[in-house]
Structure 1
Amino acid sequence: MTVSSPTPQQTNRSKPVTRKPTRQAQLRKLLSRKSGATIAQIQKAFGWQPHTVRAAISSQRKAGCVIVRSDTDTGSVYRIVDEGCDP
């Protein structure tokens, strides 16, 4: 009894490609929440240093997002108020 091995055409079926959202898209999602996000929350989500978080927020501003910072007891909270930024 001979077992035929599958040809490459049989094993490479077309699967829908689902791409992982970019870090910038994930950051926009965090900042778009009603409660916004603190530096510490963003650090925990991405494993970044504080200066990297601030640089990423700055790049969002350069992309056209209007980001406001408000001071709270837990620290500064950043929030996108106008989502006119590039995707």
Structure 2
Amino acid sequence: MTTTHSSNQRSGVSGRARARPTRQAELRKLLARRSGASIAQIQKAFNWQPHTVRAAISAQRKSGSVIVRSNTDKGSVYRIVEESGSQ
């Protein structure tokens, strides 16, 4: 019986999927796109409410990312911009 148990443990370890990126990492990827991302696009991607999207963007800002908001005819679009030196 111990042989069966140990083989189940080994198969469980080898059958694990890779760790998924965090939602903050996925959000950062969306915001880093050249076109950026709107609140609606982020809502759809994560199935979040608008206030959750705004809080997650705020958390990105608090972690040191420079995020700009630009107004378009489709609404506000948020983008991470690269800093070109020290402040």
TM-score (normalizing by structure 1): 0.80
**Structure ID, larger Rg:** 1
Offset at residue 12 of structure 1 (A): 2.2
d(CA) in 2 for partners of 1:75, 1:32: 18
In structure 2, the partner of 1:12 is 9
Counterpart of 2:54, as a letter, is R
Offset at residue 82 of structure 1 (A): 2.5
TM-score (normalizing by structure 2): 0.80
Alignment root-mean-square deviation, CA: 2.1
Map Cα deviations across residues 47-79 of structure 1 (whole Å, 9 max, x no partner).
Answer: 111111111100100000010111111011100
Which structure's residues are more often helix, by fraction?
2
Offset at residue 21 of structure 1 (A): 1.2
Offset at residue 34 of structure 1 (A): 1.1
Equivalences, count: 80
Counterpart of 1:29, as a letter, is K
d(CA) in 2 for partners of 1:53, 1:22: 15
